[in-house]
Amino acid sequence: MEKLIPMKTSEYWLSWFDRTLAVISDYAINVIASILVIFLAHFISAQIKKFYKKHLHQDASNQVHNINSVIAFTLRILCLLIGYFIAIHLLGLQGVLTQILASAGVIGIVVGFATKETIGNFFSGMLVNILVPFKVNDWVNINGQYGCVEKIGTFVTTVLTEDGQRVHIPNQLIYSQNVINYSSLGKRVAVVSTGVSYGDDLQKVKAVALDEIGKLSGLLLDEENQPHFFFTEIGASTYNFELRVWVEFIDHDQYLECIHQMIMAIKKRFEQEDISIAYNVTTLDFGVKGGVNLYDNPIQIKQLN
């Protein structure tokens, strides 16, 4: 029978110390390596941000810039995630990570329901930056809000309305509502509507109106953008017409100025051509049987004593 030789106390503690030191040395190396990996991930992420700002961040209204912004943000997040996953693997915490991810899955479902609007706005903001239905300084109508785009944010788009109010529109509404971009073509139809009296020559009215607007600046009168004149209605005392003209569109004030100039010019020219811009006329009939005007059947006022 093999005889056990008792280990001396000093030898036992020396052996324990050696084993502990070996474990600590191995773990310390892993800890240092993990710290270096995390530091490297943050360094690469910072370099991506620096490169983006220096070389790609040029014009906030440029579609290429918007796409670069999303790509740079995605690369930074991926670098950080990869770095932290490698660090966790080096520390031997895969089991802890699995438990965390399992718990995060349950929590994520709850949080997802609570923040679905915010998440929807975030992804809608990314789509706005990639697809670019409009850009900063464009005049748009979003969800009934008409104004100039001031900022396209991650979650909301800021629009300055024509009456000077700043409106923050959730990005999710951009893809669930109709969006009208008045600046995309660089031009817009200006409409002037009014009426002339029954006694005016309609052919002359049309010819005079088209001739007069042809003298104005700021209007697009080439073959592609011909003005259109239509009589649209026989009113109670007028022939109503609509004049539709393409104008250069820079902003809303410039657009209104074009309409203003058209109205002023047409009114002045109609006066020169003896064309009446008519107004509604109301006839008061005081006859008992009808058909008798005020002159034939005057109103008599009696004073009672």
Q: Average pLDDT, stretch 55-75?
A: 62
Q: Average pLDDT, stretch 269-296?
A: 67
CATH topology of domain 187-272: Alpha-Beta Plaits (3.30.70)
Q: Average pLDDT, stretch 117-121?
A: 59
Between CA 301 and CA 247 the distance in angstroms is: 58
**In this predicted model, what pLDDT tens digit does every residue of 190-249 receive, in sequence order?**
999 989 988 889 999 999 999 999 888 878 888 888 899 999 998 888 899 999 999 989
Residue 77 above 50 pLDDT? Answer: yes
pTM exceeding 0.75:
no
Residue 295 above 60 pLDDT? Answer: no
Between CA 115 and CA 274 the distance in angstroms is: 67
Between CA 174 and CA 167 the distance in angstroms is: 14
Give me 218's structure tokens. 């700021």
Between CA 252 and CA 1 the distance in angstroms is: 105
Q: What is the mean pLDDT of the chain?
A: 76
**In this predicted model, what pLDDT tens digit does every residue of 129-171 receive, in sequence order?**
666 678 889 999 988 889 999 988 777 889 999 888 999 888 8
Q: Give the phi and the psi of residue 125 in degrees, each rounded to 5.
A: -65, -40
Asked if 261 and 218 touch (Cβ cutoff 8 Å), the reply is yes
Domain locations along the chain: 14-114, 134-181, 187-272
Between CA 189 and CA 247 the distance in angstroms is: 6
Q: What percent of the chain has pLDDT over 70?
A: 64
Q: Give the phi and the psi of residue 129 in degrees, each rounded to 5.
A: -70, -30
Between CA 240 and CA 236 the distance in angstroms is: 10
Contacts 24+ apart (CB under 8 A), 28-37: 30/90, 30/91, 30/92, 31/91, 33/90, 34/86, 34/87, 34/88, 34/90, 34/91, 35/87, 37/83, 37/86, 37/87, 37/90
DSSP state, residue 54: I
Helix (H) or strand (E) holding 16: helix 9-51
Residue 86 above 70 pLDDT? Answer: yes
CATH topology of domain 134-181: SH3 type barrels. (2.30.30)
Give me 102's structure tokens. 């399992």
